Amino acid sequence: MATSKSLPIVWFLFLAVFREAALKADARAFFVFGDSLVDNGNNNFLTTTARADNVPYGIDYPTKRPTGRFSNGLNIPDLISEAIGSEATLPYLSPNLTGDKLLVGANFASAGVGILNDTGNQFFNIIRISAQMQYLEQYKQRVRFVTSKYACCGQGPYNGIGLCTPRSNLCPNRDIYAFWDPFHPSERANRFIVKNILAGSADYISPMNLSTIMVLDAAENV
C-alpha cells in the first residue's frame, strides 16, 4: 500500500513530530500524517477498498482483532507513543476522539495516499495529504476548548450550580474550559471572543469587525 512517492513525506512529517515531542517535555500532542505505514484506522470510517478491517490483520494486537492498522499488531505511531510514554493517538475520524483524547493528538493518515494528489488514484475516497492538512486545521478549532459542558469552577452537576467560591470544585487546567463558572466565559474564551470582535469574519460578527470600523473611522477623520 505504501508507494515510493509516499515514503518521503510520511517519514519527514512523522519524524519531525517525534523530534518535537522528544525534545520538549510539554509538547506531548502527537500528530501523524501519511499512508498505510501509519494509518491506524481512518479508512475504516470511509467507503474505500484501502482498508485493513479483516482478519488476519490485528492478530497480534492486544484485542486480537483488526483495527484498521496495516499490521499484525502495533504500527509505527503506536510504538513511538509507547517509547515517549504517551497514549496512542486515535484516528481523526473516530467518534471517540473527543474531550481529553483530543489533547493526546490525532492520526490523520490514510492508506493509499502519497506525496502527490494523483498517487493512489486506484483508491477512491481516501484522505489525501492536502485533506489531511485541512483536518489538522479542523482539529485546532476543536481543541480550543475541550469542554463547554462543564464549568471549571462550581458545584453540583456539571459544576453548574451557583457562583465560584473557595469551596467549589476547581478544574486543574482552565485553558480547556469555555466557562469559568456556570455563567461566565473563561479568560481563554474571552480572548477568543475578542479576537473575533477585532478581526472576525462575517460568520462571527456582522456587519463588520471592530478593526474595520476603526479603519473606516480613521479614514473619515483624515
Q: What is the pLDDT along the chain (222 residues), one digit of tens a residue?
A: 544 344 434 444 444 444 444 444 444 688 999 999 999 999 999 999 899 999 999 999 999 999 999 999 999 899 988 888 889 999 999 999 987 788 888 999 999 886 655 555 667 789 998 899 999 888 887 777 777 788 999 999 999 999 999 999 999 888 888 899 999 999 988 988 898 889 888 877 888 889 999 898 888 877
pLDDT at position 15 is: 43
Q: Which of 6, 36, 71, 94 is catalytic?
A: 36
Same domain, 65 and 137: yes
Out of 144, 169, 196, a domain closes at 144
Same domain, 176 and 85: no
What's the CA gap between 129 and 113, in Å, rounded?
7
Residue appearing with cell numbers 492478530: 59
CA of residue 61 relative to chain centroid, distance = 24
* Catalytic annotation present for 36: yes
Enclosing domain of residue 135: 30-144
Q: Residue 32: name the closest of 51, 47, 45, 16 by CA.
A: 16
Residue 98 placed within a domain: yes
Residue 205 exposure: Cα atoms within 13 Å on the Cβ side: 16
pLDDT of residue 14: 47
Q: Do 168 and 185 belong to one domain?
A: yes
What pLDDT does 117 receive?
59
Are 99 and 187 within one domain?
A: no
Catalytic residue among 148, 184, 201, 211: 184
State residue 114's pLDDT score: 67
Which grid coordinates belong to 198?
477585532
In this structure, are 164 and 203 located in the same domain? yes
pLDDT at position 10: 43
Cα separation of 58 and 66, whole Å? 4
Query: So what's the pLDDT on residue 121?
Result: 64
- Look at residue 195 in the predicted model and tell me its pLDDT: 87
Structure confidence by residue, pLDDT tens digits, 164-222: 999 999 998 888 888 999 999 999 889 888 988 898 888 778 888 899 998 988 888 77
Count of structural domains, the chain? 2
Q: Determine which one of 35, 39, 78, 181 is catalytic.
A: 181
One domain, residues 124 and 178: no
- 183 and 98 together in one domain: no
- Final residue of a domain: which of 127, 144, 161? 144
| Bridging pattern class, strands 147-151 and 177-179 | parallel
* CB count in 10 Å sphere of residue 197: 13
